[in-house]
């Protein structure tokens, strides 16, 4: 497992030449994409197999995926954070709740008013919200220094 993590660290830092912020962005993007895929899979199962209303299902899937995402991104993408684990988790969840609100409002608009299918709508929203979330988490949740490094 350590070899895999070392290889991923090397790949996401572009062989060690990438600026720390770029390496963190790549790591965040990889983890966020993976957990967004998990979010969409859970959403699909909840809606199409369990018959849960899509907005409730989106809430549940978002919470499940974001909680798992925090622990992975905290330990890999933002290792060296100045925040303690518990405090960082509260920040992460707080920002996730704001992101969830934005996601649900946009999802309802795109599905109910604009006539989109809920899956493409969710993907588009996830990309937009995900980019914004990186910068919010970078500066607030994990309190990364201006030079791109966390606590030394």
| pLDDT for res 135 | 93
Residue 10: is its pLDDT beyond 50? Answer: yes
* Residue 46, in any domain of the structure: yes
Distance CA 66, CA 88 (A): 13
Containing structural domain, residue 54:
2-141
Angle at which helices 20-44 and 54-75 cross, to 10°? 150
User: pTM of the prediction?
Assistant: 0.78
* Residue 150, in any domain of the structure: no
Q: What is the mean pLDDT of residues 15-28?
A: 90
| pLDDT for res 62 | 84
* Residue 62, in any domain of the structure: yes
Output the CA–CA distances (angstroms, integers) from residue 140 to 5, 20, 49, 102, in the order listed.
25, 17, 38, 19
Per residue in 26-48, pLDDT tens?
999 999 899 989 999 999 999 99
* Residue 93, in any domain of the structure: yes
Of the candidates 28, 22, 8, 128, the residue with the CA atom closest to the CA atom of residue 74: 28
* Residue 109, in any domain of the structure: yes
Sign of CA dihedral 48, 50, 54, 57: negative
* Residue 95, in any domain of the structure: yes
Number of domains into which the chain is organized? 1
| pLDDT for res 148 | 52
Per residue in 75-86, pLDDT tens?
888 888 888 888
φ, ψ (nearest 5 deg) of residue 117:
-75, 150
CA 21 to chain centre: 16
* Residue 106, in any domain of the structure: yes
* Residue 110, in any domain of the structure: yes
Residue 147: is its pLDDT beyond 60? Answer: no
């Amino acid at each position: 497992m350590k070899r895999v993590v070392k290889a991923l660290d090397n790949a996401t830092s572009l062989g060690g030449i990438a600026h720390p912020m770029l390496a963190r962005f790549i790591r965040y993007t990889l983890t966020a994409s993976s957990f967004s895929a998990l979010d969409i899979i859970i959403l699909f199962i909840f809606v199409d197999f369990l018959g849960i209303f899509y907005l409730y299902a989106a809430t549940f899937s978002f919470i499940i995926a974001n909680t798992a995402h925090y622990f992975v991104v905290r330990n890999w993408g933002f290792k060296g954070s100045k925040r303690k684990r518990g405090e960082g988790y509260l920040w992460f969840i707080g920002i996730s709740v704001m992101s969830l609100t934005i996601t649900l409002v946009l999802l309802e608009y795109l599905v109910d008013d604009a006539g989109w299918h809920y899956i493409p709508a969710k993907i588009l929203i996830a990309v937009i919200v995900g980019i914004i979330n990186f910068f919010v988490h970078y500066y607030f949740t994990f309190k990364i220094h201006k030079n791109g490094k966390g606590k030394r």
